[in-house]
Each structure stands twice: as C-alpha cells, then as structure tokens.
Amino acid sequence: MYVRTDRFFLFQRLCWMVDLSVEIGGIKLNNPVMPASGTYEFSEQHKGFFPPSELGALVTKTIFTEPRHGNPPPRVWETPCGLLNSIGIPSEGVENFINFKLPYLRKIGPPLIVSIAENTVESFIQLCKKVEDTGQADMLELDLSCPNIQKGTEWSADEATLYRIVKSIKESTSLPVIAKLSPLVSDIGGMAQCAEEAGADAVSMINTIKGMAININKRKPAMGNKTGGLSGPAIHPLAVYAVYSSYKKIKIPIIGVGGISSWKDAVELILAGATAVGVGMYNFINPSAMKEIISGIEKYLKDNGFKSVKDITGLAVD
Ligand SMILES: Cc1cc2nc3c(=O)[nH]c(=O)nc-3n(C[C@H](O)[C@H](O)[C@H](O)COP(=O)(O)O)c2cc1C
C-alpha cells in the first residue's frame, strides 16, 4: 500500500512536470533565469539563500583587461521606484579574474557567461581571446551599453559602430556572443537587427538609463560621478517595449533585463519575446528573488496548461 501511494505521487508529479529549459547560442540552460551582470556576487554569503547551481546561467560582472577603480562615491542613490548607480565598473582585471574567480565560477555548474568591456575594438578582441583561451567560459556578453563609463553607451548608439564591434569580435572568437544593448536609441529593434546581422548569437536588453539626482541639502549632484544609470521597477516598461519591438525583427534569442521584481515581470518579458531573463537590482532587495522567480514561472506554466517555457515566448506579440 505504502509503495503504491508513493508511485501514485511520483506519477502525478511527472505528469505535472514542465520543461523550463531554453537555448542561447547553442547552449542549453536548465531554466531561463540568470542574474543581470554586476548585480549578483557568487559568494559564500549568497549560498545561504539558494545554491547558485539552480540558476539557468551565471553572468559575471563586466571585466576589463586592466584593474580599474570605478567611479568616486556616492555610487548608488535610491529613487522611489528604482536605483541610480554609478559604480563605473571597478574591475580586478582579467588576469586576476582568470586566476582567482573563474575556477570557482566554473565549478558551480550552470553555463558561464563572462561579461566584458573595453575602450577600443582591438583591446576588446584581445580581452575576448584571453577569456576564450582559458577554455572555461561558455559565452561572452559584450557590455556595449554602460552609461557610467567613458565610451560605455557609444558602442550601441549607432548601427555602424555596433556592427563593427560585434562583427570584429565574432570574427576573432569561437564563443557565442551576446550583445548587451542600450534602450537609449530611437529604434531598439533596428539595433537588435544590426547586432544579428553582425553575427551576434543573442542580444540582451536593457542596460541602465542615464539619470541624475540632486542632493538638496548639499545643493549639488547626489552622485560622485554626477550622473548614474537608472535600474529597477521604474525601467521595466521600457524593457518590455524593447523586447516586444525586437522580437519579430530578429531570429536570435533575446535575454530580457530590466526592472524584474517578481515572476510576473519575468513572465511578462517572456511573453513579449524574451527567451531568458536577467534579474538585476532586485537581487539586492531579495537575495532569494531568482529562486522564487524560477518557481513562479514554473507554477504559471502549470496553472495555465503549458508544457514548456518555450511555448510562451513571444506569445503576446502579434
Ligand atoms: C549596481 C549595478 C551594477 C551593474 N553593473 C553592470 C555591469 O558590470 N555590466 C553590465 O552590463 N550591466 C551592469 N548593470 C546593469 C544590469 O545588468 C541591468 O542591465 C540593469 O540594472 C537593469 O536591470 P534591473 O532593472 O533588473 O536592475 C549594473 C546594474 C546595477 C544596479
């Protein structure tokens, strides 16, 4: 009797299983949820909330070739519906990253996306090669859209520059390449198309949006760098629009990023056309958010009779 009951429950569970797996750049992710670059430290502290091995992919903070300090403080400023940050991408430099961080990240398990940035096409290519030569990275994400560094958003501000950087990198690496785009253009779908034509294997959108706050007591800009990038719930509708308006224009997968604070926001981006989603600022508020979002997507699929997350990608786009 005991055994039969057990089998019955197992059978019931199997009938209810939904497929959360997706594919980006020819690589299988067990589920569509990953951290947005720069917002999640794969440290021992985080392990207490949930094992990062449960994530669909790991995404590193953007690294540069040489060590960098980042911008002067204050580097973050809370707004009513989000966060301004002007971290300015401090980096330990690629050698330290390869020697000390990469081996640890590789052991965690899920596909590893290494985010990189540089100031010239040539140095971008050199950095790609350094990362690729380790044999430890599964994909590269090109940060072409950071509003807090010199030349950050310029890479994805016009089609000619975007095409040149993506094509040059694709010609010099065999790793799948994700182009991270800025929403600060008149036609984000056109930019996604341009990245695809240049050979990108996927696009991620959106990065933060340049903004500013004034400290009224000091009567001066609130942030050390004067301006910062806005993230969080305030930018979610911009991310939904960016994904929605790109979906029909390209065949490569979209990683939808921007203002996700619950599984509902993640499902919204998937319905708008995202194959996978990146959770950013909300990781600071709720370090278990990504785990809850994975379960929330799974429950949504079950409750609505879908067998696979792939069945709802772009379903809201006509
Ligand atoms: C503190 C902070 C640091 C970030 N660092 C990076 C970075 O190093 N590279 C990058 O491509 N994006 C970086 N971002 C942008 C996020 O990856 C993401 O695109 C953006 O925050 C929008 O998502 P969100 O609204 O969920 O935060 C950073 C964002 C924040 C808030």
Q: CA–CA distance from 166 to each of 62, 130, 142, 172 (Å)?
A: 16, 17, 8, 10
Q: Are 127 and 73 in contact (CB under 8 A)?
A: no
**Spacing, Cα 85 to ligand 1 middle (Å):** 8
Choose the residue to mutate in 86, 207, 264 for probing ligand 1, maximizing ligand atoms within 8 Å of C-beta: 207
pLDDT of 16 reads 66
- Report the nearest atom of ligand 1 relative to the CA of 61: 8
| pLDDT band at residue 271 using 50, 70 and 90 as cut-offs | very high
Residue 50 is classified by DSSP as: -
* Of 80-89, 119-128, 161-170, 186-195, minimum mean pLDDT range: 80-89
Nearest CA to ligand 1 atom 6: 38
In whole angstroms, give the CA distance from residue 127 to residue 116: 8
pLDDT of 6 reads 61
Q: Are 113 and 57 in contact (CB under 8 A)?
A: yes
pLDDT average, residue stretch 230-235? 98
Q: Does pLDDT of 228 surpass 90?
A: yes
- Report the nearest atom of ligand 1 relative to the CA of 37: 17
Q: Does pLDDT of 185 surpass 60?
A: yes
In whole angstroms, give the CA distance from residue 306 to residue 17: 10
| pLDDT band at residue 296 using 50, 70 and 90 as cut-offs | very high
- Report the nearest atom of ligand 1 relative to the CA of 36: 17
Q: Are 221 and 238 in contact (CB under 8 A)?
A: no
pLDDT of 252 reads 98
| pLDDT band at residue 48 using 50, 70 and 90 as cut-offs | confident
In whole angstroms, give the CA distance from residue 33 to residue 298: 11
Distance of CA 114 to the CA centre of its chain: 11
Express each pLDDT in 83-104 by its tens digit: 999 988 888 899 999 999 999 9
Express each pLDDT in 147-156 by its tens digit: 888 888 889 9
Choose the residue to mutate in 33, 39, 116 for probing ligand 1, maximizing ligand atoms within 8 Å of C-beta: 39
**Spacing, Cα 61 to ligand 1 middle (Å):** 9
Q: Does pLDDT of 11 surpass 70?
A: no
Task: Say whether the peptide bond before residue 113 is cis (omega within 30 degrees of 0).
Answer: no
pLDDT average, residue stretch 170-182? 97
**Spacing, Cα 193 to ligand 1 middle (Å):** 23
Q: Does pLDDT of 106 surpass 80?
A: yes
Better-predicted residue by pLDDT, 148 or 9: 148
Listed residue (74, 52, 25) closest to 291, CA to CA: 52
Q: Check if 235 has its Cβ closer than 6 Å to any atom of ligand 1.
A: yes
Let me know if 241 is exposed, middle or buried by CB neighbors in 10 A (0-12, 13-18, 19+): middle
From the CA atom positions of the chain, what is the Rg in Å? Answer: 20
Q: Could you give phi then psi for residue 156, rounded to 5 degrees?
A: -115, 25
With a pLDDT cut of 90, the percent of the chain lying above it is: 85
Q: Check if 83 has its Cβ closer than 6 Å to any atom of ligand 1.
A: yes
Mean of the per-residue pLDDT values of the chain: 93
pLDDT of 314 reads 98
Q: Please report where in the chains the tokens 């390449």 appear, as a residue.
A: 177
**Spacing, Cα 6 to ligand 1 middle (Å):** 45
As a residue count, the chain comes to 318
| pLDDT band at residue 7 using 50, 70 and 90 as cut-offs | low
- Report the nearest atom of ligand 1 relative to the CA of 75: 1
One-letter identity of residue 172: S
Cα diameter, the chain:
75
pLDDT of 1 reads 44
pLDDT of 175 reads 98
H or E element at residue 195: helix 188-197
Express each pLDDT in 152-174 by its tens digit: 888 998 999 999 999 999 999 99
One-letter identity of residue 163: Y
Listed residue (88, 95, 170, 108) closest to 134, CA to CA: 95
Listed residue (120, 170, 117) closest to 145, CA to CA: 117
Q: Check if 239 has its Cβ closer than 6 Å to any atom of ligand 1.
A: no
Q: Does pLDDT of 129 surpass 80?
A: yes
pLDDT average, residue stretch 227-251? 97
